Chain A
Amino acid sequence: MITRIEIDGFKSFQDFKLDVPPFLVLIGTNASGKSNLLDALNFVATAATRGLDAAVAEVRGDARGLFRRRGDGTRVDRMSFALEFRRWRYELRLSWAVPEGALEGIVVEAQRLVSLERRLPRGRDAESRPLQGVEIGEQVIELLPTSSAEPVGLSGLLDSPVLRPKADSRIVWDIRRELSEVRSLHLEAGSLRRASEFGGPKRMHSTGHNLPNYLRFLARETASENRPLGVVAEIKMHLVGLVREISDFVIVEDERRRDVRLEFASPYDQSLDAEFASDGTLRMLAILASLHDHGTVAVEEPENGVFPERLRQMLGLARGLVSDPRESPERYGMAEERPRQAIFTSHSPVVLEVVPYENIAFLDMTTALENGIASRVTRVRRLREDGGPVRITGERWPRITDSELDRFRAGVEEAV
């Protein structure tokens, strides 16, 4: 479970900090950095688990283009990230290098894990906690010699073959697993419709490709004697509730064609091949499937192709499916270390009606001035609770007031 994200120097982010609850909806104007935030998350998660080359391939843009461009067209040469999990903070600092005798590229300057156990309560130190200086007594696991300027391309940054005490290895391994379970969905109708291959990947691609195998994988992972479909049974139930015109679906494993397909059934129609299912049906199924898996899922604009009333239900479902940090994990038989987290981006005003304000973050652009150069950078603000304070200690900007939310709600603009 990711509890906080800090980004500096990546795309539109300068000194960006955001606390992340288990369920978070990012709203905000076009080109305000919502997708950039998901890119940043994906980038770090992929770099840590599969290496920098894979990380660059995973997000929109080329390696150099990921570094923040200033208003005068120059680019920063350094990107820093910090992701906090409940007990540990993963810090990563990258830079652009043109080493002599080697190809230009992104190199790791430093990375480490810092224990959060001895930290002051969130809020009081939220702004002041430096990426660098370590408080006395804080536990730190260095992950790479800080002097290393070797381009790391192939294996994940967390796979560095340094010998370390067993307890430390365990922590690195836990963080690595959390990061390997970060995934994002940017669904495309064509990809959702395609069949999976026998023996193909078990995870769904961010476009929705490989959905049939993914469902098969989820079923296999969670099946029990009495419940052969495991969690897929729940997914089915929710899909029927959301789509209505669908009463069931089956995962057809075709040995002869060596592929795996989905077949839907409606109350009036026995079998409907995925190719003929509606776009919204497939999208909702993919989102539901992802929400029923472990780890952190980021979903781009779940409202696309979804009837507003059903979006309402889906947001409610998502909220219910993520792990509530206040609830004891054993209650629903969920293993503690495998929580679920969901981050959505959205332009739908429905969000304001069904999602509590504490689960919403509003992104827009502000002008940062550095040495006389004006650059547009992403800022994030929280929503003001009804009658609540505007200023909150530790928050850099005042909270969003109703007048600004009105713009989001209806796109207010009176005719002239």
Chain B
Amino acid sequence: MRSLSCVLVREGPSDDWFLPILLRRALENLVVECFPACREVQEVRSLTQAGNQHPTPVLQALEQERGTFDVVLYHHDGAPPAKSDPVIERMRQNWATSDFVEPLVAVVPMRETEAWLLADHVALAKVLNVRRLTRAPAFGSEVESCQRPKAVVDMLLRDEAGINPNKYGVLQNFYVSVAETTDIGELRKVPAFQQWWNDMIEALEGLGYQHG
């Protein structure tokens, strides 16, 4: 296995602003660390028409991509678990009984993925072009304790950098910039992210990617 290609089934369009970038960058690190024989990580392609709640459109969208990917990344927000767990489980079941042979790896933040964007404060300060964050929100492993990460993002933009988050394109380009800058090592301190990391390693082992 010399190359890795993943497709992403995500919740909504705003996930496309950062998840494919973040996951691709994480996979680059993961492959270098664990599967050095692999020589390429391709762009993570988001399947926008897949929806993500119901398995039927997801499988339909993946059918169109058959043969182009090694792994399916299935993203679903983790909160509240009572609602989220059955949806993820149903998707897993359907995938397992489909005739696809590729592994499906869930990407499940504790509440919302936006929290992952807050993990690296150095990256945030760099993207906002401020010397340091004056009112630092939770970070590292604590970041997922943040109840409303989107509100924190708004606050960061408005109060730390004086940028109006409601203006067209501000949030999107902020997300892209943070995803390109965040240190993957910092992100791995977040338990939900590390969980995905471990699942990913297992999936790649199952596909025959070689360690060392």
Chain A positions within 8 Å of B, measured between CB atoms, are: 364-370, 372, 374, 379, 389-391, 397-399, 401-404, 406, 412-416
Contacts and interface: CB of A to CB of B under 8 A. Distances in A.
A309 to B, nearest CB: 29
Given A372-B36, A416-B13, A366 B67 contact: no
Interface of B: 3, 5, 12-14, 16, 24, 28, 31-32, 36, 38-43, 45, 47-49, 61, 64-68
B43 A369 contact: no
B43 A398 contact: no
Given A390-B68, A391-B67, A369 B40 contact: yes
Given A374-B32, A413-B16, A401 B68 contact: yes
B41 A416 contact: no
B2 to A, nearest CB: 10
Contact of A401 (B31, B40, B64): B64
Contact of A403 (B13, B32, B38, B47): B47
Contacts of B47: 403
A397 B49 CA distance: 23
A369 B64 CA distance: 28
Contacts of A368: 39-40
A366 B12 contact: no
Given A391-B67, A413-B13, A403 B49 contact: yes
Contacts of B14: 416
A366 B49 contact: no
User: Which 7 A-B pairs have CB atoms at the shortest separation, nearest pair first?
Assistant: A390-B67, A398-B68, A367-B41, A374-B28, A414-B13, A416-B14, A372-B32
A403 B31 contact: no
Given A366-B43, A416-B12, A403 B61 contact: yes
Nearest to A364: B43
26 contacts: A364-B43, A366-B43, A367-B24, A367-B28, A367-B40, A367-B42, A369-B32, A369-B36, A369-B38, A369-B40, A372-B32, A379-B42, A390-B66, A390-B67, A391-B67, A397-B42, A399-B68, A403-B47, A403-B48, A403-B49, A403-B61, A406-B48, A413-B16, A414-B13, A415-B13, A416-B13
Nearest to B31: A369
Contacts of B12: 416
Of A364, A366, A399, most B-chain CB atoms within 10 Å: A366
A369 B39 contact: yes
A140 B65 CA distance: 43
A356 B54 CA distance: 36
Contact of B42 (A366, A370, A374, A401): A366
Nearest to A365: B43
A416 B45 CA distance: 19
B114 to A, nearest CB: 12
B179 to A, nearest CB: 14
A403 B64 contact: yes
B127 to A, nearest CB: 19
Contacts of A398: 5, 67-68
Given A401-B68, A413-B16, A366 B40 contact: yes
A399 B13 CA distance: 25
Contacts of B68: 390, 398-399, 401
B137 to A, nearest CB: 22
Contacts of B66: 390
